[in-house]
Amino acid sequence: MRVLVVLPSATPSDRAPPSLGSRASVEKNLRLLNTQSDSQSADILYGPGIQFQLAPNQDPVVQMILEVSDEDIGWLVIERIGRTLKWKFVDLNTGNELAFPSN
């Protein structure tokens, strides 16, 4: 199973540290991309071939862990999420960064 860290693509500014957004907006955006929790206020969001782990009670969300459970399906979902939400992904094993430019 591959494990990635999800980070915002934006560079940090002096005024505000970078974040993926508020917890509510992250959950809403992922729900629109077929990824959501299986219960109210859970810290794990499930999608096709993937699951996101959010830090408990973290708001705004500054990073998440992403586990890829099905490589065939998961990478298509990750690419769509990366392009739509402008997030980047860092592989914990290799340190390689994946960023998908929007079309």
Residues with pLDDT less than 70, the chain = 10-17, 41, 102-103
Which pLDDT belongs to residue 68? Answer: 95
pLDDT on residue 102: 64
Measured between alpha carbons, how far is 60 from 18 in angstroms, rounded to an integer?
A: 9
Structural domain harbouring 13: 2-99
What is the pLDDT, as a whole number, of residue 42?
Answer: 84
Q: Looking at residue 11, which CATH number applies to its domain?
A: 3.30.310
pTM of the model: 0.86
The length of the chain, given as a count of residues? 103
Coil, helix or strand at residue 34: coil
Both tokens of 77, joined, read 């979902």
Cβ contact 35:52 at 8 Å: yes
